[in-house]
Amino acid sequence: MILCADWGTSSLRLRLVDPDTETVVSEVSSERGIAGTYAGVKGSRLLYFQEVLLDVIHSLDTPVQGLPLVLSGMASSNIGMLELPYAPLPFLTDGSTLLAQVIEAEGAFPHRTLLVSGVSGPREVLRGEETQLVGCPPVAGARLFVFPGTHSKHIYVEGPQALWFATYMTGEFFSLLSRNSLLAGSVAPGSVDWLSPFSSGVADSLQGSLLRTAFWVRTNRLLSGMSPEDNYHYLSGLVIGSELKELRGLGMPLTIVAGKPQLGYYLAALEILGLSGDAQDAALATVRGQSRIYRRYA
């Protein structure tokens, strides 16, 4: 058995995993993300991050004393537990060319830790998605993997190699526009039938750049009387459509790697844009990737 931690900017998910079957035995989540943890560092950065990890590990409902830990995500960044250099492109999707560092168990932290680094391109960086990609099924030809998020990643894979990737600030733009812009007064989250307004937003993303179409969120309220809840999903469709419309004419299979509800949004957007793709569950991909990287290093 091993511990697997996916430590993102705003949250931490810890799982007890059987690496041979790549199945989760138990898991917990915490809002103690990398950014907040880094802001609270006192004394040794490494030791402080390990203290936070121990608090979360102790919240598991089963004894895990001394089990090895695989840690991916932002933990290897410049605001993480220990900064590691990025692995270069291209990288092998079996995880064999990713960079990782072993931190031996010592003192109050009894878990030998395998810290996985990210990957960099000429003008792009990622941390976490490389581990999820390792957990996806192998590719025979060419395929584009789409990882939705605050900063969505599109990773182009050909055979056993990831050759390039691109970043889209989709989630961050949605957050900024819906909370901190003129549009904030025109939208509100709510449990409505999201598909119809979302679909309208995706379709309208084809009418021009987001710099132009985003203003239609305001005129939806002023001129058409669209409810703030419907308008919220319309804006979501606009930004996701703006991300995905570049993939029209790409001429290769697509895989969306996401959890709910993002998976539903992205699959719906693909259909509206005349694209097709399959899906992989992001949580399962993370567990499989961490298990495979652990087995290779172990």
pLDDT in tens, the chain (298 residues): 999 999 998 899 999 999 999 999 999 999 999 999 999 998 999 999 999 999 999 999 888 989 999 999 999 999 999 999 999 999 999 999 999 999 999 889 999 999 999 999 999 999 999 999 999 999 999 999 999 999 999 999 999 999 999 999 999 999 999 999 999 999 999 877 999 999 999 999 999 999 999 999 999 999 999 999 999 999 999 999 999 999 998 889 999 999 999 999 999 999 999 999 999 999 999 999 999 999 998 7
Virtual torsion, Cα 176, 130, 297, 102, nearest 10 deg:
-30
- Contact between 176 and 150 under an 8 Å Cβ cutoff? The reply is no
CATH class of 2-138+284-297: alpha beta
Contacts of 217 (CB under 8 A, 6+ apart): 177, 183, 186, 187, 231, 234, 235, 238
Report CA-CA distances (Å) from 43 to 51, 62, 77, 180: 12, 30, 18, 35
- Contact between 273 and 241 under an 8 Å Cβ cutoff? The reply is yes
Question: Could you give the maximum distance between any two Cα atoms of the chain, in Å?
Answer: 65
Residue position matching structure tokens 């002023």 = 222
The residues spanned by each domain of the chain are 2-138+284-297, 170-280
Rounded Cα distance, 134 and 128, in Å? 10
DSSP secondary structure string, 135-193? TSPP-SSEEEEEE-STTEEEEEEETTEEEEEEEE-HHHHHHHHHHHSGGGGG-----S-
H/E element, 114 = strand 113-116
Q: According to CATH, what is the number of the domain 170-280? A: 3.30.420.310
Q: What is the pTM of this model?
A: 0.94
Domains 2-138+284-297 and 170-280 share a fold: yes
